[in-house]
Structure 1
Amino acid sequence: MLITNSKFDQLPLSWIYSVNKKESNYVKLGHSTYWLYSCTIPNFSCITEILNRLSDTPNTNFIIRGCSKEISDHLANHGFSSILTGKEATIDLDKDPFKKGSLRELVRRGLKKGRIEEMEFSEGSVKKLEELRLHWAHSNEPQLKYLFVDKFIPGTRLFAFIDKAGIWQGAILTSPNSPTKIQTELLLRRKSASIGTMEALVNFIFQKFREEGFLEWSLGEVPFVVEMNNFPFLSKGYLLNKTGRMLKYAYNYEGLYFFKNKFAPRWNDIYLCAKPKVKFKHVILLSHKSKLAALTIQKLIN
């Protein structure tokens, strides 16, 4: 067996916890590398059967992104290597960031313009989310794929900020990562949305998850916000993160960091794991498949 029973109840980012379903989603990078970008499973030990099923040749490689330090260390004992790629922002739901006056004021300003609802899964809600996507700041750019759940599907939860005319001004899509942890998949804000729209959404969802008994809410990963002195000069980790920082013109990771950091989260290391090794060619293929390369080229041209 490639992976023995694991004590972990949490999963890599954008993997979905479900007690009733087992599903693996992957894309191939080249001829013999599988990028497992999302799985729906009850616990991490279920990855055993997934990897064994995909190991159709002796030279099969695997890539799993969004791994915590704990998961990365466990995978290392089973032939995986890893590279530090970013930080995950996690809110402890027993600590209220909205005690801060500046956040309360943003929430107050946002709620003057509309209301927040959790949406039932329906064709209408799916269409509303897609309509909102056409009106956010990056709607005319190549859309990133496989890095998060980007559609309202069964098993996910969708919260929308709806103005007084019934128009969606913002939305946050979440999914369960464990019995006690929820993770953010998608943050969308209409270009014309009022100040405080997203803060009001975060506040509503924070209160909702806390009332339901969850312990943690992940706001997701921010790539490249790592200390560069963690890496030997010109190592793979150094070059990957240095290159990522140079692409800030295409992917504003700093803006994402500052937005998430206002909610006083814990920042935990996130790793890209691969078996047997993280190779530059796989990172390049991953960038191509995820549309990050296309986004970078378009931004450079424009």
Structure 2
Amino acid sequence: PFGEPSELAPLAWDFHDAAYAANARPVFYSVGADLIPLWLEMGLGLVKLGEEAVVPLPGFSLQGPERKRLRTTHNRALRDGLSFEVLQPPFAPGFMEELRAISESWLATKAGAEKGFSVGAFDPDVLSQAPIAVVRHEGRTVAFANLWLTETKTSATIDLMRHAENAPGGLMEFLFTELLLHFAAEGYDEFSLGNAPLSGLEVRRGAALSTRLGALVYRHGQQFYNFEGLRSFKEKFDPDWRPIYVAVPPRANLLSIAADVVALIGGGARRGDDARPAGVSR
């Protein structure tokens, strides 16, 4: 959420109270460490979800020996005909349809349909309200990402990122490199590369069961999701890794909460379900 900081705690308490009034349970999904005192005041416990990769932008560049690999791949992408641009609304007629074709090409390679809640979805009404970064290959748009910004220039990130099926190799690394260079030049403090689910969890004696289970899934669940690959990709940009949690009531059924979150991301509970949905806030 963004807005007046003084309004955040009352809003969270309103959700907390409304969930219990509806005989549901309040769950706050993908929250950072800065609000830990609020969750403790509510009597909620924290389950580590993973880590967020945040790149400090002051002084960020491709110069120096520590950036040699990133600089080499970026120069190769430029030689291969890739270019980057940030476009501001209102957009030209036909632009959204161009992006829709890329989005549908991307979705055709993925399992399931369009997602939601904690994952960006292709919605022209939403996309038309904010800047969009595009990557072109020899003049043809092959990738895009909509940008989440505020005038304070404290932080920037992306919501939805998609590319054409036949896009050149190294496209995503080129896009993120250009985004970091762009927002560093614009004077932003940091850029979030998003979360690495289940990252940073360790199997230690005495650790919470949920943490140990998450660490095992991270290490051995590669047939379901490339957790390590996602973290390795983001590690290329030397980010700071910040813990991300799910705030849950005491003695909560974590499997049930996970099922609720998966249902929300997948488009919500099926119509006609008898089960009362939990209250989940992002």
User: Counterpart amino acid of 2:182?
Assistant: K
Percent identity, aligned pairs only, is 18
Q: Which amino acid aligns with 2:17?
A: S
Q: Which residue of the partner structure matches residue 114 of structure 1?
A: 82
Structure 2 residue aligned with 1:169: 142
- Show CA shifts across 1:116-173 (max 9, x none): 111233464433333212233863412442123334535543201012242x222233
Aligned residues of 1:98 and 1:263 also touching (Cα < 8 A): no
Summarize the alignment of residues 39-188 of structure 1 with structure 2, pairs less than 5 Å apart: 41-43=3-5, 45-49=7-11, 51-52=13-14, 55-56=17-18, 57-58=20-21, 59-96=23-60, 98-99=62-63, 100-112=67-79, 113-121=81-89, 122=91, 124-136=94-106, 139-142=109-112, 143-151=114-122, 152-153=126-127, 156-166=130-140, 168-176=141-149, 179=152, 180-188=154-162
Gap change, CA 1:187 and 1:255, over 3 Å in 2: farther
Q: Which has the larger Rg? A: 2
How far did 1:105 drift?
Answer: 1.6
**For 1:55-95, what per-residue CA distance to the aligned partner results, in whole angstroms no more than 9, with x for missing partners?**
34444422222211222343222222110010110000014
1-structure distance, mates of 2:266, 2:219? 17
TM-score when scaled to structure 2? 0.77
CA contact (8 A) 1:82 1:278 kept: no
Which structure has more relative contact order (CA 8 Å, sep 6+)? It is 2
Q: Secondary structure at the match of 2:127?
A: coil
Structure-2 change in CA distance of 1:61 and 1:158 (3 Å): same
**Where in structure 1 are there 5+ consecutive unaligned residues?**
1-14, 18-40, 293-302
The 5-angstrom pairing of residues 166-245 of structure 1 reads 166=140, 168-176=141-149, 179=152, 180-229=154-203, 232=206, 235-243=209-217, 245=219
The 8 Å contact of residues 48 and 201 in structure 2, kept in 1 or not, is answered as no
Given that 2:59 and 2:184 are in contact with CA atoms closer than 8 Å, whether structure 1 keeps it comes out as no
Moved more, 80-89 or 47-56: 47-56
CA shift, 1:53, in A, is 5.8
Alpha-carbon distance in structure 2 between the residues aligned to 1:97 and 1:144:
34
Q: What is the 5 A alignment of 1:260-275?
A: 260-275=234-249
CA offset at residue 271 of structure 1? 0.6
Amino acid at match of 1:215: D
5+ residue gaps, structure 2: 268-282
Q: Give the alignment's Cα RMSD to 1 decimal.
A: 3.0
Q: In 2 relative to 1, CA 157–111 (structure 1 residues): closer, same or farther, beyond 3 Å? A: same
Distance 1:276 1:175 in 2: 34
Using the TM superposition, give the Cα deviation of residue 217 of structure 1 relative to its aligned residue in structure 2, in angstroms: 0.4
- The residue aligned with 1:31 is none
For the residues of structure 1 that align with 2:48 and 2:246, how far apart are their CA atoms? 6
Deviations 1:205-260 (A, max 9, x none): 21221222210100000001123236735623323443455443232222211111
Task: Render the CA deviation track for 1:161-190: whole Å, top value 9, x for unaligned.
Answer: 012242x22223321378301123233233
Across the two proteins, how many residue pairs are aligned to each other?
A: 254
Higher strand share: 1
Separation in structure 2 between the aligned mates of residue 189 and residue 53 of structure 1, nearest angstrom: 36
Q: Structure 1 residues 207 and 51, CA, compared in 2 at 3 Å: closer, same or farther?
A: same
> 1:120/1:199 Cα in 2 relative to 1: closer, same or farther (>3 Å)?
same
Question: Contact 1:61–1:276 at 8 Å: present in 2 too?
Answer: no
Cα distance in structure 2, aligned partners of 1:186 and 1:231: 39
Query: CA 1:246 to 1:155, structure 2 compared with 1: closer, same or farther past 3 Å?
Result: farther
The aligned residue for residue 284 of structure 1 is 259
Question: 1:50, CA displacement in angstroms?
Answer: 5.4
